Structure 1
Amino acid sequence: MGDGLYRSANAMPQGSAPPPDGATLISIESLDQPMVETTAPAPEPPGEGNAASNSAVMAIGSLVSRGTGFLRTVVLGAALGTFAVGNAYTTAQIFPGMVYEFLLGGILTSVLIPVLVRRRKADPDQGQAYAQRLLTLAVLGLAVAAVIAVIAAPVLTALYGSEETSDDFQKLVTLLSYLMLPMIFFTGLSALISAVLNVRGHFAAPMWTPILNNLVVIATFGAYIAIFGAKVIPANEMTPGRITLLGGGTLLGVVIQAAGLLPALRKVGFRWRWRFDFRALGLRELGRLGAWMFCYVAVSQIGLAVLFNLLNRAGHEDDAGPLIYNNVFLLVMMAHGIVAVSILTALMPRMSAAAAEGRYADVVADLSRGTRVVTAVLAPIAVCYAVLASPIAVVLFRYGAFSAESATATSVVLLVGALALIPFAVSQLFTFAFYALPDTKTPALINIPVVGIRVVVQIGLFAAFSTSFTAAGLMLGNAVSYLAAVVITAQLLRRRIGRFGLGEIMATVGKVIVAALGAALVGWLVLQLLPGGSTPNRVEALIHLIVGGGLIGLTYLGLALLLRIREISEVVQLVRRKIGR
């Protein structure tokens, strides 16, 4: 699901697949140095752009996609508010992504893309017949899954909702689900077509078509506000017209996203043809490769069901529920996506190549460096999220039906969410190191105790505190589980690849903590001096963000340079070189 609550945290980046023979291999002495080709590049097939242009297209597309996705979230809150209707929409919206992820999400990126790459290289027709068989099987499977899911919508509502919610709320979730669950088919189709395009060197359409989806949904909420107004209403006042507009508009966005990919298929020379000789797919091999990833996803769904059940219990009491939690989760994932995913994208091909050649010392070096860079760069963002939680919530979300009380509730969840940012990013880096080995079994097994810890902590906090703390408590449970994942994964990685510079990592982390605490103190003191206090209006909140964020950033940078945090110094040098050019 684009920019939604639940996104695959287990998928391997495309760069993790081994490059075809003769392809350009990249050697990077450090993450901030230019990439140098170590072997002669193979000629590029017609129509397949070079790496630099592909990277530029992906970077621009990712930025625009994240921007429109965030605007989509803001308009959603403004149109529906954070109570019954907004929470019902958010709950119904999660169902298609949950079912798709369960069926295909992690398996697509960790199994099917590498297989498509190999068949593209080995088959006389460059893998076209194999891709046609795969698409035929997937289209049939997705269609059946979508039909079954629509029929089972009341069951999904009961599983992810709560017995404590009203009958009107559950009915609204079910009605919205009837319209949204067909998204399973079009989401899966989009993902498969994108995989076929990426394997053939076409990256533009898969990166830009999600923007069409976002724009359609933004227009849908804009139409809702224009027709029905931006105000909070109870679930029983949702008329068929309101429900059809929201659910139908959301479905239309995914349909247009899938349709937008079809011209690109013709451009790369791929022709659709039904092929039913599925034995030629090697289903046994695909099943064997995907079994552990399926286990990973299945365990995650248990945690997701508990999460939504507890959130809807809190939302029933008019406290922070699914929509507010979703907004904060999006902010945390945006920071992770901009910083940590970029580093993962640079490291994965190197670690994969080094692991394949048995150069575990190089894997260790990349892993240690990546951990230090991720921690050092994300720390000031986490500080801003924590210290400036209130003005961030007001400036970003307080529009229309999103009330001042909802902004306050959002700030509490964001403050706790700041604690989860770095542990999540580091846990993902360690998990992807296993994928580079390659090993999908160990991450799947690790995920079992990690999700168990998360569920126990979340249920315990829900039982111990009032419902007003539920969303924040769930985010705290996330942070604890991510930290547990780091510890468990680090121990198992050490057995596989040896020591990976824990002493150097902890030395950097210690300096980062000092710099972060200093920046947080300066930011807090500045907020006490600025007008508006803890409940600023929109203008005051904007001033808080500009002044407070600027001083937090400058303080962290100054302390980092004073403490000689090498990773920050290298980032500064990189920026200076870019500006000098």
Structure 2
Amino acid sequence: MAEATSTETGGSVVRSSAVMAVGTIVSRLTGFGRSAVIAAAIGGAAVGNAYATAQFFPQMIYEFLLGGILTSVLVPLLVRARKEDADRGEAYTQRFVTLIVLLLSAATVLVVACAPLLAKALTKENTGLVTDLSYLMLPMIFFYGVAAVLAAILNTRGHFAAPMWAPILNNLVIIGTGVLFMVMFGAVAIIPENMTAPMILVLGGGTTLGIVVQVLGLLPALRSVGFKMKFRFDFRALHLGHIARLSGWMFCYVAVSQVSVIAVLRILNEVSANDKDAAGPAIYNNAYLLMMMAHGIVAVSIITALMPRMSEAAAEGRKADVAAYLSQGVRLSAVILLPATGGFIVLGTTLAPLLFGWGQFTHDQAVTTGLVTAVAGLSLMPFAISQLQTFAFYAMPDTKTPALLNIPSVAMRVGVYLLTFALLPATMVAQGLMVGNGVSYVVAAFLGAVLLRRSLGPLGMGRIFGTLVKLTVAAAAGSVAAWLAMLVLPNDMVSGKVDAVINLIVGGGVLAVVYLVVAVMLKTKEVTDVVGLVKGKLGR
């Protein structure tokens, strides 16, 4: 097999990824709106940091308890049940959903009770506000889990659209929350001591309402694919021992990863408490969201399209096909992520003020967000490669190897974090943390390639490397051209947003055109495939 079973299959992956990417683009754009509105409502200082910290808690704990397990274990098991069971995996899926609902319910109640302990462990000041917000936002743990299970069920039944579009509902609710907050309480500077109970209720309750609406938005799609929920408590049929063995290593993986999340929160809260000009969790989170926008639009769409295919190939013992899918995923991701990296570096300090420089989020805070974003962009491609490799292991299914690989990766990450905290001035700590992320992803990608080569055989590294070199050259050429173009453009963002828009349109346009021209001149097949797909769609 030369290319993921066939040219037709390869095209199918491109088409599936493109369909999901459209939904993800809209989702990420509304996500920008969500972040910008919340930033305008509460700013990027003490209240914004408290909100960002409280928002991290349910995500962090959900991932620790079940997030990675659902992603890595559930999809391959549902694919196998759908192939092997007489009822196409219907009863198996119902048992799994029942078990997850029970586990999430118990875990959510316990964690909510521990909200004060979480706030004290990870914050130096404003622990009371973080605690109050956490009481309202920690129930999101339950709904995160339910949303992940429903999305997995839909994906294994070939329905990718709803899971990509449902988060838009979440974003719209939170945008409404931010607008309601400003309408009710005014667009005036607030400090933690002035946050009243109604303010906290609107902010925390509205955020949780968003994920509830997201779950409700998935239910019509479940009916359309013919899945009917029925609670089944005969869990022995799930072969829990096998699931536990797979999940045990995944739990190790996630637990190790959360060490770095805890370190980030603790360091950011420490430096922002000691130096008001230093970036705290709010600014770091906004920069991270910008980076993950590109990753979500591209790599997540490709991973979601490839995961069922890789799982099926692994179940049938077609290791060469798994390797080919992995190679294809890396190369397709690079088509967008490498120029996106250049865009973040060149345009980051223009993009962030345009998105976040409103209301209580000051211009200086927005510029700092852009500087952190520029550094974060360097992590895009190594992060995508390491994620694709991880999902290739999961497809086999192998959760042990990623868990063991994660230990040196996170150790490297936390080591750079600590060096950053010890050596850099407070105003540069957030950038240093992003460097730590990038270094750890490079380590993970290198080790993952070595071990996958042993498991799958040749990975097509020559072709991958050749494509990455060509696309890097093209992205660098586009970035330099964009930078030169912006030197002659107006850049007075303090007085208004018009100059920023001009810079983004012209700079981004120059980058894209030069990148595509150079990539085509270098005969980069992946770019010509994507261009051909777009031409076909436009022609149709």
> TM-score when scaled to structure 2?
0.90
Q: CA deviation at 1:202?
A: 5.4
CA distance in 2, matches of 1:175, 1:467: 28
Give the corresponding residue for 2:61. 99
| 2:178 paired with 1:221 | yes
1:278-289 equivalent positions in 2, closer than 5 A? 278-289=235-246
Give the corresponding residue for 1:134. 96
Give the corresponding residue for 2:469. 510
Per-residue CA deviations over 1:414-436 (Å, capped at 9, x if unaligned) read: 11011111111122222223233
Give the corresponding residue for 1:23. none
CA contact (8 A) 2:72 2:391 kept: no
| 2:42 paired with 1:80 | yes
The one-letter amino acid paired with 1:497 is L
2:207 is paired with a residue whose SS is helix
Of 339, 351, 357, the match for 1:398: 357
CA distance in 2, matches of 1:509, 1:237: 52
The one-letter amino acid paired with 2:356 is F
**Cα distance, 1:524–1:506 mapped onto 2, change above 3 Å:** same
| 2:413 paired with 1:435 | no
Give the corresponding residue for 2:121. 159
Greater displacement, 315-324 / 217-226: 315-324
Give the corresponding residue for 1:482. 441
Q: CA deviation at 1:126?
A: 5.1
CA distance in 2, matches of 1:380, 1:576: 20
| 2:286 paired with 1:327 | yes
Give the corresponding residue for 1:10. none
CA distance in 2, matches of 1:507, 1:522: 23
CA distance in 2, matches of 1:129, 1:549: 50
CA contact (8 A) 2:341 2:378 kept: yes
Q: CA deviation at 1:170?
A: 1.1
**Cα distance, 1:435–1:473 mapped onto 2, change above 3 Å:** same
CA distance in 2, matches of 1:424, 1:278: 36
Give the corresponding residue for 1:452. 411
| 2:153 paired with 1:191 | no
Of 190, 196, 200, the match for 1:243: 200
**Cα distance, 1:368–1:111 mapped onto 2, change above 3 Å:** closer
CA distance in 2, matches of 1:224, 1:27: 53
Structure 2 gap segments, 5+ residues each: none
1:399-438 equivalent positions in 2, closer than 5 A? 399-438=358-397
Greater displacement, 73-82 / 262-271: 262-271
Q: CA deviation at 1:79?
A: 0.7
Give the corresponding residue for 1:41. none
1:338-349 equivalent positions in 2, closer than 5 A? 338-349=297-308
1:530 is paired with a residue whose SS is coil
Of 505, 513, 521, the match for 2:480: 521
Give the corresponding residue for 1:230. 187
Give the corresponding residue for 2:6. 28
**Cα distance, 1:490–1:329 mapped onto 2, change above 3 Å:** same
**Cα distance, 1:474–1:231 mapped onto 2, change above 3 Å:** farther
The one-letter amino acid paired with 2:26 is V
Give the corresponding residue for 2:523. 564
**Cα distance, 1:547–1:100 mapped onto 2, change above 3 Å:** same
CA contact (8 A) 2:69 2:247 kept: yes
CA distance in 2, matches of 1:470, 1:150: 31
2:187 is paired with a residue whose SS is coil
Greater displacement, 101-110 / 378-387: 101-110
**Cα distance, 1:562–1:63 mapped onto 2, change above 3 Å:** closer
CA distance in 2, matches of 1:31, 1:464: 50
Give the corresponding residue for 1:177. 134
Q: CA deviation at 1:194?
A: 3.8
The one-letter amino acid paired with 2:443 is A
Q: CA deviation at 1:143?
A: 1.8
Greater displacement, 487-496 / 82-91: 487-496
CA distance in 2, matches of 1:521, 1:202: 41
Give the corresponding residue for 2:343. 384
CA distance in 2, matches of 1:515, 1:60: 24
Tell me the percent identity.
54
Q: CA deviation at 1:393?
A: 1.0
Q: CA deviation at 1:303?
A: 1.0
Q: CA deviation at 1:266?
A: 5.6
**Cα distance, 1:198–1:437 mapped onto 2, change above 3 Å:** closer
**Cα distance, 1:184–1:376 mapped onto 2, change above 3 Å:** closer
The one-letter amino acid paired with 1:309 is R
**Cα distance, 1:211–1:523 mapped onto 2, change above 3 Å:** closer
CA distance in 2, matches of 1:343, 1:171: 42
The one-letter amino acid paired with 1:521 is V
Q: Write 1 or 2 for the structure with the bigger share of helix.
A: 2
**Cα distance, 1:347–1:412 mapped onto 2, change above 3 Å:** same
**Cα distance, 1:475–1:494 mapped onto 2, change above 3 Å:** same
**Cα distance, 1:194–1:546 mapped onto 2, change above 3 Å:** closer
CA distance in 2, matches of 1:267, 1:345: 20
Per-residue CA deviations over 1:231-260 (Å, capped at 9, x if unaligned) read: 332211111111111111112222333344
CA contact (8 A) 2:13 2:302 kept: no
Structure 1 gap segments, 5+ residues each: 1-25, 37-51
**Cα distance, 1:149–1:484 mapped onto 2, change above 3 Å:** same
Q: CA deviation at 1:117?
A: 4.2
Per-residue CA deviations over 1:440-469 (Å, capped at 9, x if unaligned) read: 211111011101100001111121101111
Of 293, 302, 320, the match for 2:250: 293
Q: CA deviation at 1:403?
A: 0.9
CA distance in 1, matches of 2:238, 2:320: 37
The one-letter amino acid paired with 2:146 is L
2:7 is paired with a residue whose SS is coil
The one-letter amino acid paired with 2:131 is T
Give the corresponding residue for 1:145. 107
CA distance in 1, matches of 2:397, 2:54: 36
1:388 is paired with a residue whose SS is helix
